[in-house]
A and B are shown apart, each in its own frame.
With several copies, the nearest count.
Chain A
Amino acid sequence: MVMSNEIIKTKAPSQSLTMIQAITDGLKTMLESDQNTIIMGEDVGRNGGVFRATDGLQETFGEKRVIDTPLSEAGFVGTAVGMALAGLKPVVEIQFLGFIYPAFEQIATHVTRMRMRTLGQYHIPMVIRAPYGAGVRSPEIHSESVEALFTHLPGIKVVCPSNAYDAKGLLLAAVEDPDPVLFLEPMRLYRGSRVDVPTGDYRVEIGKGTRVQEGNDVTIFAWGAMIPLVMKASEQMKKDGISCDVIDLRSLYPLDRDLIADSVQKTGRVVIVHEGHETGGLGSEIISIINDTSFLYLKAPVEKVTGFDVPVPLFSLENDYLPSTERVETAIRKAYTF
């Protein structure tokens, strides 16, 4: 079972939830506590979202607060910009991350810039939620993992939970954040497992990763749907006497520089696992941070296990595209034996 440190620490009343339930719970908590929050997107109202993330919310909070929009990503993200200017806090759902592209201009030229161009007079407290990633046999363009496009855009934070606890906590932190946050939801983990999630309001801090397994030989950096995979590989490695320090980065912009340095300086050996394309992927950014912080500590080249430089293929080949435990294990061994 993968979970964040916080889960162990928390003593609040809690319930056992899947990630998708935790997200719904987070959205409900938000709508209850702040009249200025609204939810917008395609099929989020009566239908409750194609993954049921907003199930029941329109019934409870009404059509003014849980808004079904026309099929118009640029239009409704732009509309949300206007709403944010006027003091609302829109939480926008993009049905799948692969359909965020039509809104790219709005995000790159307005969502991310309004604060700077107005020197802080206006700001855009918007959250963009998007299911993402491969592995659930979706059609074309439904399995994108392009977080790196957004971590490169100045003015937006990017987070990605790997479990239900972090999902709710990061979501509420994103809503509270006065600046835009892209909230990535690994589809593969929506219903996979349950963890205890506090019933009330709590936050998981944006910008902080978490060590999900303590180890000394090799550091593994991963997030989202890669965490269960990496945990499996690192269990496997224990049999060979290799102990892995597994870091769930959770926050993709900004990355947790201190935690990255801390682990690398302990192990000197690193494997990075992500499902986005290799070139220009976040793996390279992490290597760059290691170069900056921990050059003298490295005992082996950093290994990357990533998606390839190819469009995510139709689902018969998606497992070939995705990092596998075998690939992760091979990389760990390579880093360990260098």
Chain B
Amino acid sequence: MENYPLYQIIDENGEWVNKSYEKELNEEKVKEFYYHMLRIRTYDQKGVALQRQGRIGTYVPFPGHEGAQVGSALALSENDWMFPTYRDHGASLTFGADLDRMFLHWNGRIEGCLPSREKRIMPASIPIATHLPHATGAAIAEVYKGTDNAAIAYFGDGATSEGDFHEGLNIASVFKAPVVFFNQNNGYAISLPIEKQMNSETIAQKAVAYGIPGVRVDGMDVFAVHYAVKEALERARKGEGPTLIEAVVIRFGAHTTADDPSKYRDQEEINRQKEAKDPLLRLKKHMQFRGFWSEEWVENIQSDIRTEIESAVVKMESAPTANTDDMFDHVFSEPTWTISRQKEQLGLMGGNR
């Protein structure tokens, strides 16, 4: 632990721990962070509500992770690559994913699988840790092409136990790939607490295995996350290779809407921690003491966000029914005879409904 102290810029009361970035963190910039955190939290609440109403499928909430997701996503450059998991739709949205696509995705629609047709945000990786090597590969390809684009891969504490975590970091370290491995350590992989996931005290220290920098940051401090990621990206673009960042967060809610956390942890205790540590609250306190806070401003952005989200929901719900052809037409650039024949046979029966 001593080797990997928790890096903070503001503490739980929103007060400065480290003033190096005070100038840069001006009103506009701070408000941008808050705006995005509020936006994705509002979106998240909508997601949970839609799931409860049976209007979408299983949903993955991320409250507690907003600082980590917004802080990291806002550190990226336009053409960087983002490789998120199922829990990182907050980061995807902040980087530029389409809201309606995200909802479509939760509604089991292939159209929603790719978060954006413009930004390089890859579909959420479902098989844990498998996308880490992808980020490595995209990063190496950017060097090959001579750009200075970088890549970021998101993953959880549980993901560090998979072989692909290890292989992705090792290859990136050997080729000095411009990639940031951004871990959100929320202390749980579904029900498994981190002490049973690993014997190491921190995730950051796993960087030693690859001879790369490991950084441990308070993931509920959006500033700390932001600058840690920014500096890692700078190192990456300078050819200094990958960085492993551990952002320590708390998952306030359930693993997914299908999960019941009271089976495996004291949810009361978590709720108490939420009161004290909520990243939005912390930023609010900070804004208050710096005089950046205005109820009116918040009400305004809140109402804009609500409108934006509602219209995305409308868009999602008014989308034409899923097209069976999509299942057949995009397996290969040209369907093989097997697929054409299967499509034809299903078509002859008027489909399956």
Instruction: Give me the interface of A with B, judged by CB distance under 8 Å.
Output: 38, 42-43, 45-48, 50, 64, 68-88, 98-99, 101-102, 105-106, 109-110, 115-123, 137-142, 154-155, 157, 178-179, 207, 253-254, 257, 278-279, 308-311, 313-322, 324, 326-327, 330
8 Å CB contact of A155 from B107, B136, B332: B332
Q: 8 interchain pairs (CB within 8 A)? A: A50-B258, A71-B192, A86-B81, A86-B138, A88-B144, A116-B110, A179-B332, A317-B326
A71-B336 in contact (CB<8A): no
Closest 8 interchain pairs by CB? Answer: A82-B137, A78-B133, A75-B167, A315-B108, A47-B191, A86-B141, A79-B137, A82-B134
Contact call A116/B133, Cβ cutoff below 8 A: no
B128 engages A327 (CB within 8 Å): no
State the CA gap A141–B137 with chains docked (Å). Answer: 22
**Are the CB atoms of B127 and A99 closer together than 8 Å?**
yes
Partner pick for B339 among A68, A82, A309, CB 8 A cutoff: A309
Chain A residues positioned under 8 Å from B127 (CB to CB)? 98-99, 101-102, 105, 109-110, 141
Q: Are A119 and B167 touching (Cβ within 8 A)?
A: no
- Select which of A68, A142, A254 is within 8 A of B337 by beta carbon: A254
Contacts of A84 in B (CB 8 A): 137
Closest A residue to B111 by beta carbon equals A119
Query: Using Cβ atoms and an 8 Å threshold, which residues of chain A touch B42?
Result: none
Q: Is B30 an interface residue (CB 8 A)?
A: no
CB atoms of A320 and B324 under 8 A apart = yes
Tell me if B219 is interfacial: C-beta within 8 Å of chain A: no
* B170 partner residues in chain A, CB cutoff 8 A: 70, 72, 75
Say yes or no for B63: interface residue by CB 8 A criterion: no
Please give the residue numbers on chain B whose beta carbons come within 8 Å of chain A beta carbons, in ascending order: 57-58, 81, 86, 105, 107-114, 117, 122-123, 126-128, 130-142, 144-145, 151, 158-159, 161-164, 167-168, 170-171, 174, 189-192, 196-198, 258-259, 263-264, 322, 324, 326-333, 336-339, 342-343, 346, 349, 351-353
Bound complex: CA A330 to CA B163 (Å): 46
Contact residues in A for B349 (Cβ distance below 8 Å): 326-327, 330
In the complex, chain B residues whose CB is within 8 Å of the CB of A99: 127-128
Bound Cα distance from A82 to B178, whole angstroms: 13
Query: Residues of A contacting B144 with CB < 8 Å?
Result: 38, 64, 83, 88
Most buried by A among B107, B123, B167, B168: B167
Among A81, A110, A316, the one with the most B-chain Cβ atoms within 10 Å of its Cβ is A316
